[in-house]
């Protein structure tokens, strides 16, 4: 009996050892599984760059400062004293209103897939975006930060346009106009140039930071609004000079400094390209300050502070589409040309055509934006912009025609949207204040406040 039971005991022992070994292996595999999963999860997570994030946070604040207080002070100093607070109110309230519009619908129209001319609605109220969702155009930053940076463009652009009908537009009408225009003009043009599958971007239009999207677009809106609403009472007969050039200088300086966030921030990171972006922005601005001032000095006998500050804005506008595509010598030529051409825009062109663009939106942003967009097609070089980004200077004359196509479509689209929006407002809530309110001043008539030096 003993010999008969020994194999059974041996088999039992072997089975026990096998079971223990199997259990140990299973436990070891369970313990190793999370460790193996961690590197895989880490590999799948977005690779955010803290340096890029820090720079884009800074750029967003810089561009926000271009509107409040930059553009607000720049415009407030240029209008008559009785309308200064009304301009500031448009800037402050407009920044709040348009920020909401951007989050609700503007971002989705501009930066989601749709048609070549109009984005989709998949990201209304930023649906589907999580804190760790990478930006669509740059994996180094989260999409929420990209939304914020692009929001600053969205809120300043329509307010630029309000310089055209300044001094006589109802506050309610101005806010209705910027809302409609931002949704149906700004967001679609942004989609066409920068959005996924956008028509102009796909066609090869070069616009690094907003020559078409921001400046030509807003300038056409301002010009159409100025023409539709009509001239200011007493225009051409009464003195309508800027009431406080100190405010204009402060505002213009904030615009100059903030513009580095505008242009350099459009790199969407703190990489090697940011150096030439910053230098191009500065040298073009400097060139325009000098050329505008010299032309004014020669023609009028005296250089003015208003002229120098206006020259700076002209240079900034003109280099905006080109800053990421041209070499430093191209940037300097663009700036020098902008000072001369925009000076003509706010004097000769304006007086010849007879429109009352109160704060010279078209003369600076329109003329400067068109000039900059065309010269981008002339001076773009692959050494700066990358493969395929070359202009006439490198033998690619076709790029000039592509730029002109982008300019033309932007002008037509913005003009149609602006005209339709203005007509709708005119026959609903009305566009213009009455004569007594215009004479009294918008500060007191519309807001119950007055400005004291």
The pLDDT of residue 42: 43
Q: Provide the strand spans (E) within 93-250.
A: none
State whether 159 and 262 are in the same domain. yes
CA 32 to the chain's CA centroid: 50
Residue 98 near residue 183, CB atoms below 8 Å: no
State whether 280 and 225 are in the same domain. yes
Query: Is 453 inside any structural domain?
Result: no
State whether 89 and 1 are in the same domain. no
**Cα separation, 434 vs 447, whole angstroms:** 15
Partners of 380 in the β-ladder: 326
Q: Compute φ and ψ for 413, nearest 5 degrees.
A: -60, -50
Query: Is 57 inside any structural domain?
Result: yes
Query: Is 434 inside any structural domain?
Result: yes
Would you state the structure tokens that stand for residue 338, as one six-digit string?
Answer: 């902008």
**Cα separation, 159 vs 266, whole angstroms:** 20
Would you state the structure tokens that stand for residue 173, as one six-digit string?
Answer: 């009408």
State whether 265 and 297 are in the same domain. yes
The pLDDT of residue 250: 98
Query: Is 235 inside any structural domain?
Result: yes
State whether 37 and 58 are in the same domain. no
Q: How many helices (H) and strands (E) does the chain have?
A: 21, 0
State whether 81 and 23 are in the same domain. no
Residue 117 near residue 409, CB atoms below 8 Å: no
Question: 425 lies in which domain range?
Answer: 51-447
Query: Is 313 inside any structural domain?
Result: yes
The pLDDT of residue 12: 37
**Cα separation, 87 vs 451, whole angstroms:** 12
Query: Is pTM, for the whole model, over 0.95?
Result: no
Would you state the structure tokens that stand for residue 76, as one six-digit string?
Answer: 């407030």
Please tell me the total count of domains within the chain. 2
pLDDT tens digits for range 377-386: 999 999 999 9
State whether 36 and 167 are in the same domain. no
**Cα separation, 56 vs 437, whole angstroms:** 43
State whether 28 and 148 are in the same domain. no
In the predicted model, residues of the chain with pLDDT beneath 50 are: 1-43
Query: Is 363 inside any structural domain?
Result: yes
Which alpha helices (DSSP H) does 301-381 contain, by range? Answer: 305-319, 328-344, 350-353, 361, 367-379
Buried/exposed code over 275-287 (b: 16+ C-beta within 10 A; e: otherwise): ebbeebbbbbbbb
The pLDDT of residue 237: 87
CATH number at residue 134: 1.10.3430.10
State whether 22 and 170 are in the same domain. no
Q: Compute φ and ψ for 326, nearest 5 degrees.
A: -115, 155
Q: Which of 279, 277, 258 is nearest to 269 (CA)?
A: 277
Query: Is 34 inside any structural domain?
Result: yes
State whether 120 and 184 are in the same domain. yes
Query: Is 345 inside any structural domain?
Result: yes
């Amino acid at each position: 009996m003993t010999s008969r039971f020994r194999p059974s005991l041996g088999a039992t022992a072997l089975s026990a050892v096998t079971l223990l070994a199997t259990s140990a292996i299973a436990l070891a595999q369970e313990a190793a599984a999370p460790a193996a999963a961690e590197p895989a999860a880490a590999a799948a997570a977005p690779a955010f760059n803290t340096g890029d994030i820090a720079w884009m946070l800074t750029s967003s604040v810089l561009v926000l400062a271009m509107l409040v207080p930059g553009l607000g002070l720049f415009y407030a100093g240029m209008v008559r004293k009785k309308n200064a607070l009304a301009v500031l109110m448009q800037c402050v309230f407009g920044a709040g209103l348009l920020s909401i519009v951007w989050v609700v619908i503007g971002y989705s129209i501009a930066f989601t897939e749709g048609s070549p001319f109009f984005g989709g609605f998949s990201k209304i109220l930023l649906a589907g975006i999580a804190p760790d969702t990478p930006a669509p155009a740059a994996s180094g930053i989260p999409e929420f930060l990209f939304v914020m940076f692009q929001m600053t463009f969205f809120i300043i652009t329509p307010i630029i346009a309000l310089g055209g009908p300044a001094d006589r537009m109802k506050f309610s009408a101005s806010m209705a106009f910027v809302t409609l225009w931002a949704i149906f003009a700004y967001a679609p043009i942004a989609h066409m140039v920068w959005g996924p599958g956008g028509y102009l971007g796909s066609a090869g239009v070069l616009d690094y930071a907003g020559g078409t999207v921001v400046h030509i677009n807003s300038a056409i809106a301002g010009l159409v609004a100025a023409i539709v609403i009509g001239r200011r009472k007493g225009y051409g007969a009464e003195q309508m000079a800027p009431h406080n050039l100190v405010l204009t200088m402060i505002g213009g300086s904030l615009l100059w400094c903030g513009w580095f966030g505008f242009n350099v921030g459009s790199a969407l990171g703190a990489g090697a390209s940011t150096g030439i972006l910053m230098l191009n922005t500065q040298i073009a601005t400097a060139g325009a300050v000098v050329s505008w001032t010299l032309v004014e000095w020669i023609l009028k006998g005296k250089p003015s502070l208003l002229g120098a500050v206006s020259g700076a804005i002209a240079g900034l506008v003109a280099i905006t589409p080109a800053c990421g595509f041209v070499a430093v010598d191209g940037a300097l030529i663009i700036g020098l040309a902008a000072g001369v051409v925009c000076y003509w825009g706010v004097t000769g062109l304006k007086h010849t055509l007879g429109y009352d663009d109160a704060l010279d939106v078209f003369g600076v942003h329109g003329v400067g934006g068109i000039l900059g967009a065309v010269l981008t097609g002339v001076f773009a070089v692959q050494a700066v912009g990358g493969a395929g980004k070359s202009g006439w200077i490198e033998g690619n004359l076709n790029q000039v025609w592509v730029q002109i196509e982008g300019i033309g479509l932007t002008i037509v689209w913005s003009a149609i949207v602006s005209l339709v929006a203005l007509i709708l407002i005119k026959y609903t809530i009305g566009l213009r204040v009455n004569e007594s309110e215009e004479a009294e001043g918008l500060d007191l008539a519309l807001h119950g406040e007055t400005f004291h030096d």
